[in-house]
């Protein structure tokens, strides 16, 4: 039997400083007709109110790394985000949510990125549709297993939307409106699908699949000793060839990409990833066929 999505959760503020999702969810909460679709129940929620209020990514730990099923079951884990994750996961379960759309923003130049976390044909077809209605939409495959600690893991299906480049604590009107339209496009698609009148999709689309991460060069104390090279800054989704400059030290020494194949970096210079040891994620490109689910 084909998959279907009847209950959706729109989540903003999983990270407190990412205002696009926060203000979109506030808008949806005030004007719920905007996200009403025939046959679909949609709830919208600010995940980390306290972090939003404090204008910070998180209070104690990254909420979007707090949903590992074992951690959710561990009564010892009680810091702000650990407790919050348990509460949110419980609500997602009680509301019988089929699909979580988690609205993020990034300081890297990711434009309008839709992240898929598995290879389910249902999501691939939705992704195909989104690339068709807006050629700026990029589809990024970042596969997670069932043990993942991301918020979207709480429901059967999950999509992360990442828009950028935008600084934390800042609203960019253009990105706000584009993200809003992307949310409506997803809901329209789900509605049509539920009605048995699926919207047309292209036969294939370009998919970027994460193959790994690259950290900043660091000294023996773990302090970074180089920055993203100016030629790579804001060049998300552009080809990086072996031998291309990738970092530059504080003294101006260039460091070159040592890989054997051309890759397409994303999340280049994302502020929150300095502490995670990630200067960028590397992806490879493929043409994904759209298959009926």
Q: Which residues bind a second copy (CB under 8 A)?
A: 23, 27, 55-56, 107, 165-174, 176-177, 224, 227-230, 233, 248, 250-252, 269, 271-272, 274-275
Phi, psi (5° rounding) for residue 179?
-65, -45
**Token match 């990738």: residue?**
246
Cβ of residue 17: shortest distance to a second copy, in angstroms? 8
CA 292/CA 28 separation, integer angstroms: 31
Closer to a second copy by Cβ: residue 63 or 165: 165
Cβ of residue 252: shortest distance to a second copy, in angstroms? 7
Q: Which helix (H) or strand (E) is 44 found in, with range?
A: strand 41-46
**245-249 β-sheet, strand order:** 226-228, 245-249, 254-256
Closer to a second copy by Cβ: residue 36 or 87: 36
3-state SS, residue 79: coil
Cβ of residue 275: shortest distance to a second copy, in angstroms? 7
Closer to a second copy by Cβ: residue 97 or 228: 228
Q: What is the DSSP letter of 198?
A: P
User: Residue 97 CB: number of other CB atoms within 10 A?
Assistant: 23
Whether the ω angle into residue 165 lies within 30 degrees of 0, i.e. cis, is yes
Closer to a second copy by Cβ: residue 249 or 286: 249
CA 161/CA 237 separation, integer angstroms: 16
Closer to a second copy by Cβ: residue 7 or 27: 27
The tokens describing 6, both together, are: 């009847």
Closer to a second copy by Cβ: residue 109 or 283: 109
C-beta separation of 126 from 188 below 8 A: no
CA atoms within 13 A on the CB side of 220: 0
Cβ of residue 2: shortest distance to a second copy, in angstroms? 36
Cβ of residue 65: shortest distance to a second copy, in angstroms? 16
Cβ of residue 117: shortest distance to a second copy, in angstroms? 25
């Amino acid at each position: 039997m084909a998959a279907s999505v009847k209950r959706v959760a729109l989540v903003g503020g999983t990270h407190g400083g990412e205002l696009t999702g926060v203000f979109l969810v506030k808008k949806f909460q005030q004007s719920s007709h905007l996200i009403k679709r025939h046959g679909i129940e949609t709830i919208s929620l600010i995940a980390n109110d306290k972090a939003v209020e404090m204008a910070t990514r998180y209070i104690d730990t990254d909420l979007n790394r707090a949903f590992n099923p074992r951690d959710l079951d561990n009564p010892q884990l009680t810091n702000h985000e650990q407790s919050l994750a348990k509460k949110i996961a419980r609500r997602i379960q009680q509301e019988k949510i089929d699909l979580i759309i988690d609205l993020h923003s990034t300081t890297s130049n990711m434009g309008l990125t839709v992240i898929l976390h598995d290879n389910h044909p249902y999501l691939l077809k939705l992704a195909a549709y989104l690339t068709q209605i807006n050629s700026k939409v990029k589809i990024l495959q970042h596969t997670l297993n069932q043990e993942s600690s991301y918020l979207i893991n709480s429901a059967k299906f999950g999509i992360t939307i990442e828009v950028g480049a935008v600084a934390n604590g800042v609203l960019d009107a253009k990105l706000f409106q584009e993200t809003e339209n992307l949310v409506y496009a997803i809901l329209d698609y789900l509605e049509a699908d539920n009605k048995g009148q699926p919207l047309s999709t292209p036969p294939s689309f370009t998919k970027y699949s994460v193959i790994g991460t690259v950290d900043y060069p660091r000294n023996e104390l773990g302090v970074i000793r180089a920055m993203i090279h100016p030629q790579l800054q804001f060049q998300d989704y552009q080809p990086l060839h072996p031998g291309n400059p990738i970092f530059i030290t504080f003294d101006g020494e260039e460091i070159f990409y040592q890989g054997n194949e051309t890759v397409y970096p994303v999340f280049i210079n994302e502020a929150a990833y300095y502490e995670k040891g990630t200067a960028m994620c590397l992806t490879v490109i493929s043409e994904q066929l759209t298959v009926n689910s």
